[in-house]
Amino acid sequence: MPAPAAPGFDGAKQVIDSYKLQISGVVVNIKIFTKEAEAVPIYAISFLNISDATLRILNKLREEFLSKVLIGAIQLTEEEGENIKKKFEDEIRVLIRKYFPGIDTETTSLLVSHVMQQNVGLGNIEILLKDANLEEIVVNNAAEPVWVYHRKHGWLKTNVIIPNEARIRHYATTIGRDVGKEITLLKPLMDAHLMTGDRVNATLNPISSKGNTITIRKFSEKPWSITDLIVSGTMNTETAAWVWLCVQQELSMIIAGGTGSGKTSALNAIANFFPPNQRIISIEDTRELTLPNTLHWVPLETRLPNPEGKGEVSMLDLVVNSLRMRPDRIIMGEIRRKAEAEVLFEAMHTGHSVYGTLHANNAEETIMRLINPPIEVPKTVLSSLSAILVQNRNRRTGFRRTLQFAEIEANGDPKVIIQLDVAKDRLSQIGAPTRLLETLGLYTGLTSDEIKSDLQNKMRILNWLVSQKVTDVHQIGLIMSRYYTGKLRI
């Protein structure tokens, strides 16, 4: 008999999606449905191969296990402290044999895995983390269910409930401890990441007045490729071809957009176009980029100070250091401050190609953000930047789209070349490039007709990638290496 859902989630009106996850032998059923009394759809989990009676016994086992931990009956030596998970697994195995005499080895392993996930890990949040369809997992407090952001269905309310505020704080503390961070009443805010790369933010009451919170932005298991962007309708082949041309000819570019608009996904896809014979340095707060393994790529990551305030490695430290590493290309996860921007624009002036993301909603706003505090770079230096790609997420539909592709004129103003017609959900050319053509002509000797022919060839290759369903970034990297060496035949 499947485990019942949390109270208040029965009486589904219409199932809109369902699928199964297999997590360490435990089969989890995911059902997404609408309900008359709820404003958003419900994301409900249930265990298919663990009965209700078994779950009740496991709860008793859990209580005995936790009481042993609390009274110190489970002793850990200094050496065992480094392998605490294995020690706990052994103790749980003993308790399972006590509560389920005669149980076979396979079922024992399944139950051990379930109990470990529920009691040593993050409980049912661990299940949510395994669902590749989810982008965000949000714990607002213990009084309401966990929320998730689903790639297909947007924000959903789950049937996962954290029992109390202490448990939420325990989860946050556990996450922080694993990566050398801490969250306390004196330091009630924490930015961290899971071992899987998922980004985590946590806050404690009373800073978050309704209760303790945890926000997890999931690290994409499969990095976005340029093919993915085209197939999903995020970008068309014409825009992708222009981006490819700019990247190939070492023109610097900023990817702008609001929160959750797909800036990092677009940046990752753009990196598919890098040639294999150049050295690429990426700089991020938390590793999110995955570049083709054909590339000469060195990823760098910032580090926050320890509790004593020592050991910090800032974005600026890494930007300055990257220039001593003989880079051909520099990728910056997000441009936030004046000092970082100044170094990056100086790098552009000295012949490096720079790619980075920035929070701005359109091309004009991107320029305004760059020339005003807190970034505040002189407008006169913006001419070293060649293009802006703007990403957008429609909050009503949940669709992510490229909103604009713009060139930067000599005076630092943006000129939009390609723009999204929101009503028709279609990218269209609304302006003729001038400075891009001048720059390409000056440094490559290409005429306007040759550039047009090159764009058509790139569109043909991109359409072939789509038709062949080539979405793996490493495979695309191999194809690009053949393209750059003149060996690509399609």
pLDDT in tens, 19-68: 999 877 778 899 999 998 889 999 999 876 667 777 778 777 777 777 76
* Most confidently modeled range among 26-40, 66-80, 400-414: 400-414
pLDDT band at 279 (very low <50, low <70, confident <90, very high): very high
CB atoms within 10 A of CB 363: 26
Tens-digit pLDDT profile for residues 337-348: 999 999 999 999
The architecture of the domain spanning 14-163 is 2-Layer Sandwich (3.30)
Predicted local distance difference test score (pLDDT) of residue 74: 45
Rounded CA separation 262/244 (Å): 18
Alpha helices in 259-299 (DSSP H): 263-270
Q: Is the pLDDT of residue 1 over 90?
A: no
Predicted local distance difference test score (pLDDT) of residue 109: 81
CB under 8 A, 24+ apart: contacts of 99-102: 99/57, 99/58, 99/60, 99/61, 100/57
Instruction: Give the pLDDT mean for 115-132.
Output: 83
- pTM of this structure: 0.81
Instruction: Give the pLDDT mean for 215-219.
Output: 91
Predicted local distance difference test score (pLDDT) of residue 477: 96
pLDDT mean across residues, the chain: 89
- Which of 269, 272, 256, 268 is closest to 391 using CA atoms? 256
Predicted local distance difference test score (pLDDT) of residue 265: 94
452-468 b/e (C-beta count within 10 Å ≥ 16 → b): eebbeebbebbeebbee
Q: Where are the domains of the chain?
A: 14-163, 226-484
Q: Is the pLDDT of residue 11 over 60?
A: no
Largest CA distance in the chain: 81
Instruction: Give the pLDDT mean for 319-342.
Output: 93
CA dihedral 130, 134, 136, 142 (to 10 degrees): -70
Instruction: Give the pLDDT mean for 428-436.
Output: 96
Predicted local distance difference test score (pLDDT) of residue 83: 62
Contact 52, 3 (CB under 8 A): yes
Tens-digit pLDDT profile for residues 192-210: 888 888 889 999 999 999 9
Which carries the bigger pLDDT value, residue 464 or residue 163?
Answer: 464
- Which of 333, 330, 326 is closest to 343 using CA atoms? 330
The three-class DSSP label of residue 349 is: helix
Predicted local distance difference test score (pLDDT) of residue 261: 93
Contact 438, 397 (CB under 8 A): no
> CB-based contacts of 387: which residues, under 8 Å, 6+ apart?
242, 243, 246, 251, 252, 253, 254, 405, 406, 407, 408, 436
Radius of gyration of the chain from Cα atoms? Answer: 26
Please give the structure tokens belonging to residue 140.
């607002």
Q: Is the pLDDT of residue 10 over 60?
A: no
Please give the structure tokens belonging to residue 191.
């930015």
CA dihedral 378, 383, 385, 387 (to 10 degrees): 120
SS3 content of the chain, % helix, strand, coil (to 5): 35, 25, 40
Q: Measured between alpha carbons, how far is residue 6 from residues 9, 43, 162, 163, 227 in Å?
A: 6, 11, 11, 11, 40
Rounded CA separation 121/363 (Å): 44
Q: Which amino acid is at 417?
A: I
CB atoms within 10 A of CB 78: 6
User: Domain 226-484 maps to which CATH number in 3.10.129.10, 3.30.70.260, 3.30.1490.100, 3.40.50.300?
Assistant: 3.40.50.300
Instruction: Please report where in the chains the tokens 């895995």 appear, as a residue.
Output: 113
Rounded CA separation 67/63 (Å): 6
Instruction: Give the pLDDT mean for 468-483.
Output: 96
Rounded CA separation 312/306 (Å): 7
Instruction: Please report where in the chains the tokens 């320029």 appear, as a residue.
Output: 367
Fold identical between 14-163 and 226-484? no
Predicted local distance difference test score (pLDDT) of residue 73: 45
β-strand partners of 417: none
CB atoms within 10 A of CB 340: 22
CB burial of residue 227 (10 Å; 0-12, 13-18, 19+) = buried
pLDDT band at 69 (very low <50, low <70, confident <90, very high): low
